[in-house]
A and B are shown apart, each in its own frame.
Chain A
Amino acid sequence: MKFAIEYISKGGGRIGRLTGLQSQPGAVHETPMVLVSTVGGSAPHLTQDVLHLVVDKDAPLHVPAQHFCDHVQVLQNYKKGVAHFSALQGHSVCVSVQDAAKATPQGYNHKKGVSLWTYGGRQIITADKYMDLMEAMQPDWYEALNDADPGIGSSKKRILNSTTSSMEYLKQCITLHKASQKLKGSALFAPLLGGRSEKARNGWSKSLMSTTVDKSAISGYTIVGLHTNGPEVEDLQPVNVSNIVKASLEPLAAELPRQTAGMWNPLTVLQLAHLGVDIFDSTFPFLVTERRGALTFPFRLNRRQNDGAYSKGSCLEHQNKKLKVSEDSPKAKAEEEVPRQDNKIRESEDEELSSPYEINMKNKSNVSLMKPLLEGCECYTCKNFTRAYVHHLTIANELLAPVLLMMHNLHHWMDFFSSIREAIKTDRLEDLQTLITTSVFESNEV
């Protein structure tokens, strides 16, 4: 894997080029980019042919190790790697330890290994076993085994335990990686740990740069431990993660790619991109699909004022939206001190789970709407189907509802990232932040 930084914007963020992947030597991926998150090897709800109606046939995939650790032997027998096994050959693959789409139960990691949650239950996996799995999966790049368990409010001691064991795993992974013939073409990403403590994060990153770690084996970094995966991540606002990510990135070599997984909301994504994170995933559109929402937040800076969906009028559709109420979640309590810009709309009301970035397709207001999910959207769903139809499928609990929504949401998310790259290139990342903030939140402040 090769990574080159093309442009560092005065307005924050950087543009990079990811090339030389073992499975697609000719492909060039511009960053910040988004990986197609998968469940059991497939994009959620989308068969291969349908996925290709939304993304390019070489779009990189994100495959959590936990979905395949029950199938090591099968993959070993198969020999052609996980992408091919899942009928997605042609796509490159990044493997992470945990699935960002599912909350990882806490407190199950110990000295023996890291707990992975499979369809069949829990598996404790050691560095040896993990590397066997990597050899069988044949990823283009993968994250070293790590214990990113400490959630919000974890004690210093727990963080220390996690970093100590993770350092051990990292060293083991590096040794095994270098010794492995099969992983010659794969790139290893080191995890960035330290829970939610700036000091611990900074310390961990410094140790990565020290001589105790074989830096030559490390091709990139994955920021982990900011959260414990699952839907709660969308509640993390830019301000919640900004400083700790800065602390993690500050000591590192700038020229390596940085990745982070999780259901980040669009504004937090922008903040992370601003800080120089290069690789994201598509678990957020999946989350929105699972609650039968359709993403509609605007992201095009250069649209004419009266251009369809992005005009003021239709953005007001968000005004009745409530952010997911999370007052009673432990995380919200732990972060009471963090000021929230969107406090006003967080007032608890008995609304369906939703976010201001989306419309809720369960909502009866869609029942006879002959327009697409999002006016002007070029996705397969919007070009072919009406809101009334998608609403009908949603209400009837038909399997096609999540298919059409996932297609739209994934398309929207992909487009959002091309807009982010465009904004960085023109030094306008902050304008993009403003566009989304005003159109999504402003109407609520009236």
Chain B
Amino acid sequence: MATATAASLPGASVAAAAAVSSSSSSPALSFRILAECSKSKARTSLMKLPHYAVELPMFMPVGTQGTLKGLLPEQVKGAKAQVILGNTYHLGTRPGKDLFQDFGGLHKFMQWDRALLTDSGGFQMVSLLDLAEITEEGVKFRSPYDGSECMLTPEESIEIQNAIGADIMMQLDDVVDVREKDYERFKTAAYRTTRWLDRCIKANKNPDRQNLFPIIQGGLFPDLRKISLEQQIARDAPGYAIGGLSGGEAKEKFWPTVHLCTDHLPKNKPRYCMGVGFAVDLVVCCALGVDMFDCVFPTRTARFGCALVDNGQINLKARDFANDFRPIDEKCGCSTCRNYSRAYLHTIVTKETVACHLLSLHNVAYQMRLMQSIRDSIKKDCFAEFVEDFMAAYYKDQEYPQWVVDALAAVKITLKKNSSSGVTNKASDIWDDQESDEKLWNLRSGFDKLYLTGYRNAILGDFEEEEAAGRIEGFETAFQSQSKVNPTIYLSRLDGLLMACLTKCKSNLNEEQKVEIRLIQNMINHALKLNFEPSKSILEKVLKSNKQTETRNEQEEVRLCSSECFVDAKYSEDSTRDRYKSRDSKCGCTPGQTDNAETCLNEILSRTRAVCDSVGWKIPDFILNHEL
């Protein structure tokens, strides 16, 4: 069956106008393709669910515990959301399935009359892996609420999901952290997921009104994905999900996996790629033929004061917005943009819950609008042009990440390019790591993720004192686990520490301390620029935004200049020296005294120590133990 579907694919790219060919129907779901892109695998379709007729492709905001981050159901509808995702693991623990049985399901409980989807609770396994033990029977875990031992079996998961009553349920799957290397583990998981699917199908008491979606597993191994696809497709289901991705894998591995799955999944059924929510990923995955997405990103980033816009996101905490009386996005029709200015939001972000609600609403509306544009462009058969325009707007310099170029090329979409820009594999920017927050909070993710995300959070996070301390600790642990300290990472760590210090102790710092911290950061910046090229893009981005918020007075200017000269003196790199030459006279520093990187590092180190001491921060072990 799998091969038959794949073989039929070339036929799919016939004129989109005539495309009303594919449809399917099951008791609780009917699916009809409305139009297809004539170039790529993108399609737009109508999926009728018991509670709502949903237009695909679509994005589903995550309402973990039966509510979407402070928004009333009618606000969520106003943002044009069609389906909300609920978490079985959380809802099953609290308020519990008995209550849902009494209330007649989550729809009534939360007053949401459009469609709902529940995950299986399997994903939480990965994030709570310390607590969990996976056996053929199910997942044994310790309840984080009361410490008791619980067992989540496929039958139990479906029983809870039946009680919740969502339009779409997900099978319990054996989720393996995608960055795990062990092939055998993935193989077991792929087969076990199908065995669990059979148990889930058997356990489903409401096949007439609740759809059960199988999940394709197999990690990043094409052969395992194919096995999983074949087995899962053989169990005729109303729709299918691609699981086990979006866990921090390299994008170069991510897109071919999606590509492979959509090649094999039945064309006449909806396809759901779990955990995807960044605009670029959504556009690429739509081109690859995916119909449904979910992610916590839009609402989570709202909590950090970030609003989604066409070229990524803006952080409304930035001072640039203090006098910006425009809405977040003039093109956006959401109630936040219709009523509120950036300047007003700037005064309350991360301070008042209202700001969080307003940004969540805008961000959800943004995702919905993006999906609407995708649907419209497919209907008009100008999806390829839409993708080109979208990417050109998102990557202003048209430096497209290689994976985006490759993925789109695979479905015959070529991006606009400047003749000059030799596209290199641009490091995924700092925001792209936000999705691993879930894991970060358990401080169990890989070092790279932890470093980047932690660094970002140290800057942007507005945490309780205790949580901030916890994060910094985790940050350190990961750092120490690096046997050989890389100077880039080391400097970035120092910078993160200073940044955290600036944020956390803001009110306690005197001017001199603030200036000193900025000076050290400046040195770090220069040292990095001149000596250690890697991850420059990340640091630059952060340091740039940091600089913008900095108001330099005359005295500071001189001091900054002297520190620049200091760095200049140590690293005789022409371009940098040229840039600051004009200032040399001002502080009377003679450039050219060459020194080595070690001295510079030591200087940074000792000054950071001094600052930590003066502020009363405990000096992290990684600084104390550092031997150059």
- Whether the pair A86, B71 counts as a contact (CB closer than 8 A) is no
- Whether the pair B109, A399 counts as a contact (CB closer than 8 A) is no
Q: Which of A14-22, A46-54, A159-167 contacts B (4 or more CB under 8 A)?
A: A46-54
B343 neighbours in A (Cβ, 8 Å): 74, 78, 85
B322 neighbours in A (Cβ, 8 Å): 71, 74
- Whether the pair A50, B323 counts as a contact (CB closer than 8 A) is no
A197 neighbours in B (Cβ, 8 Å): none
A71 neighbours in B (Cβ, 8 Å): 322, 347
Does B99 sit at the interface, judged by CB under 8 A? yes
Q: Mark A26-50, 1 if CB is under 8 A from B, else 0.
A: 0000000000000111111111111
- Whether the pair B67, A398 counts as a contact (CB closer than 8 A) is yes
When A121-B507, A393-B67, A403-B72 are in contact, do A49 and B347 touch as well, CB less than 8 Å? no
Q: Report Cα–Cα, A68/B347, bound state, in Å.
A: 9
Top 3 A-B pairs, shortest CB-CB distance: A399-B70, A87-B339, A42-B354
29 contacts between A and B (CB under 8 A): A39-B352, A40-B347, A41-B347, A45-B354, A45-B357, A47-B75, A49-B75, A49-B335, A49-B339, A50-B72, A68-B347, A74-B322, A78-B325, A85-B344, A87-B340, A87-B344, A121-B507, A367-B95, A388-B109, A389-B111, A392-B95, A393-B65, A395-B94, A396-B65, A399-B67, A399-B69, A399-B356, A402-B353, A403-B357
Q: Report Cα–Cα, A49/B356, bound state, in Å.
A: 14
Residue of B nearest to A391 (CB): B95
When A74-B343, A85-B343, A403-B72 are in contact, do A368 and B357 touch as well, CB less than 8 Å? no
Q: Mark A397-427, 1 if CB is under 8 A from B, else 0.
A: 0111011000000000000000000000000
Does A343 sit at the interface, judged by CB under 8 A? no
- Whether the pair B70, A398 counts as a contact (CB closer than 8 A) is yes
Which residue in A74, A77, A399 is a CB contact (below 8 Å) of B347? A74
B356 neighbours in A (Cβ, 8 Å): 399
Q: Report Cα–Cα, A400/B110, bound state, in Å.
A: 11
- Whether the pair B352, A42 counts as a contact (CB closer than 8 A) is yes
When A389-B110, A400-B70 are in contact, do A41 and B348 touch as well, CB less than 8 Å? yes
| Contact residues, A345-401 vs B (CB, 8 A) | 367-368, 370, 380, 384-386, 388-389, 392-393, 395-396, 398-400
- Whether the pair B353, A392 counts as a contact (CB closer than 8 A) is no
B110 neighbours in A (Cβ, 8 Å): 389
B361 neighbours in A (Cβ, 8 Å): 47
Give the shortest distance, in Å, between B538 (CB) and chain A (any CB).
Answer: 29
B68, B78, B353 — which one has the most chain A CB atoms within 10 A of its CB?
Answer: B353
Q: Mark B197-224, 1 if CB is under 8 A from A, else 0.
A: 0000000000000000000000000000
Does B66 sit at the interface, judged by CB under 8 A? yes
Does B351 sit at the interface, judged by CB under 8 A? yes
B347 neighbours in A (Cβ, 8 Å): 40-41, 68, 70-71, 74
Does B330 sit at the interface, judged by CB under 8 A? no
Does B414 sit at the interface, judged by CB under 8 A? no
- Whether the pair B354, A392 counts as a contact (CB closer than 8 A) is no
Give the shortest distance, in Å, between A407 (CB) and chain B (any CB).
Answer: 9
- Whether the pair A400, B99 counts as a contact (CB closer than 8 A) is no
B22 neighbours in A (Cβ, 8 Å): none
Does B103 sit at the interface, judged by CB under 8 A? yes
B353 neighbours in A (Cβ, 8 Å): 44-45, 399, 402-403
- Whether the pair A392, B348 counts as a contact (CB closer than 8 A) is no
Q: Mark B329-356, 1 if CB is under 8 A from A, else 0.
A: 0000001100111011001100111101
Give the shortest distance, in Å, between B164 (CB) and chain A (any CB).
Answer: 13
Give the shortest distance, in Å, between A330 (CB) and chain B (any CB).
Answer: 26
- Whether the pair B94, A40 counts as a contact (CB closer than 8 A) is no
Does B466 sit at the interface, judged by CB under 8 A? no
| Contact residues, B64-95 vs A (CB, 8 A) | 65-72, 75, 78, 90, 94-95
Residue of A nearest to B325 (CB): A78
When A74-B343, A395-B94 are in contact, do A47 and B111 touch as well, CB less than 8 Å? no
- Whether the pair A388, B348 counts as a contact (CB closer than 8 A) is no
Does B498 sit at the interface, judged by CB under 8 A? no
Does B182 sit at the interface, judged by CB under 8 A? no
- Whether the pair A388, B354 counts as a contact (CB closer than 8 A) is no
B78 neighbours in A (Cβ, 8 Å): 49
Which residue in B103, B323, B352 is a CB contact (below 8 Å) of A77? B323
Does B358 sit at the interface, judged by CB under 8 A? yes
| Contact residues, B38-75 vs A (CB, 8 A) | 65-72, 75
| Contact residues, B347-390 vs A (CB, 8 A) | 347-348, 351-354, 356-358, 361
Which residue in A47, A393, A395 is a CB contact (below 8 Å) of B358? A47
Q: Mark B613-626, 1 if CB is under 8 A from A, else 0.
A: 00000000000000
Q: Report Cα–Cα, A44/B507, bound state, in Å.
A: 25
- Whether the pair B358, A85 counts as a contact (CB closer than 8 A) is no
B351 neighbours in A (Cβ, 8 Å): 40, 119
Residue of B nearest to A381 (CB): B72
Does B102 sit at the interface, judged by CB under 8 A? yes
Give the shortest distance, in Å, between B560 (CB) and chain A (any CB).
Answer: 24
Give the shortest distance, in Å, between B238 (CB) and chain A (any CB).
Answer: 30
- Whether the pair A368, B94 counts as a contact (CB closer than 8 A) is no
A40, A47, A70 — which one has the most chain B CB atoms within 10 A of its CB?
Answer: A47
B323 neighbours in A (Cβ, 8 Å): 73-74, 77
Give the shortest distance, in Å, between A354 (CB) and chain B (any CB).
Answer: 22
Residue of B nearest to A43 (CB): B354
Residue of A nearest to B354 (CB): A42
B67 neighbours in A (Cβ, 8 Å): 393, 398-400
Give the shortest distance, in Å, between A350 (CB) and chain B (any CB).
Answer: 21
